[in-house]
Structure 1
Amino acid sequence: MDNLQIRELVKKLDTTSALDQEAAWTLLRPLGIDVVPFLADAFDSTKKAQGRVALVFHAIRFARISQTAFELGIRALKDKATLVRYRACGICAYSLRADAIPHLNELLKHADVKTVEDAIAAIDAIKRRNHHYFIDRSHSGSSFWTVNPEDSAL
């Protein structure tokens, strides 16, 4: 698949149809980390919130190994859509990178209570070096966030 074909498939993520998104992602997923720059490039021109959610969601699994995925998460923290910001907080939490904390701190005064809660959870996960705490916000130890296969061993 050449770059033009990849860009066209990534554009198909800009839809409200979960079926259409899944069909496009089925073809993009085998690219692995190589898809990340295309996801990041498409972010600013993706009009539908569902499309931006998909771009950020599919980058989460690469947040620890791709600077571009991490940077997409940081950019997406400023998105107008709550769910996009949630996924962006997920990138930050999964990355476990302390340099995300200043960006997450900016969300602590956000008007959307959900966004504030998501930022707090991401900061907690990073500080405790445990991405599961982004989901297991009470630290019960009964909820796990398996993004990549090796996560279940943590």
Structure 2
Amino acid sequence: MSMRSKDVEIYVIKLRRLDVRRCVMQQRIKKAVVIIILLGMAAAFSGCAVLTPPEDWSENDTKYEMVWQVLNVIDARQTSRIQGMPGLYEKDWMTRPLIGLQPSTQDAYQIAATYAVSHYLISKYMPKKLRPYWHGGMIVGKFIVIQKNHGYGLGY
């Protein structure tokens, strides 16, 4: 190897390290923005928001919500296992920018907790007529994701 090619190789290694640092920093900034938005929403609604179900909340709504929440926990567990699977990456267009391609266990559970609270609040304030469609669509969608993850070897 000539001195020139060694210099190029060192330069490429430095660029890769810089790129990794930049990606990590971007992920941290995105997480911070999401947390700030959620905290801001919580502070804004803390005076008027009550986490009890609305008066028109039915027993079926409770059952559907419980099913979705259980599926959400299964999906979070599967997502946390991605980090141990070389060549396997997070594919969800909404989740990937927040937790990265191979999320840590902490990231996977934090985003799942965010989704859990968001799903409940959306369900709670949705008109009664639309709730069964919302629950049905979300349960089927989450079930499909879990089945695909299982096919990738992420278990249940």
The question of a shared fold, defined as TM-score above 0.5 by the shorter chain, is answered with no
The structure with the largest alpha-carbon Rg is 2
TM superposition score normalised by structure 2? 0.25
TM superposition score normalised by structure 1? 0.25
Report 1 or 2 for greater relative contact order, CA contacts < 8 Å, sequence distance ≥ 6.
Answer: 2
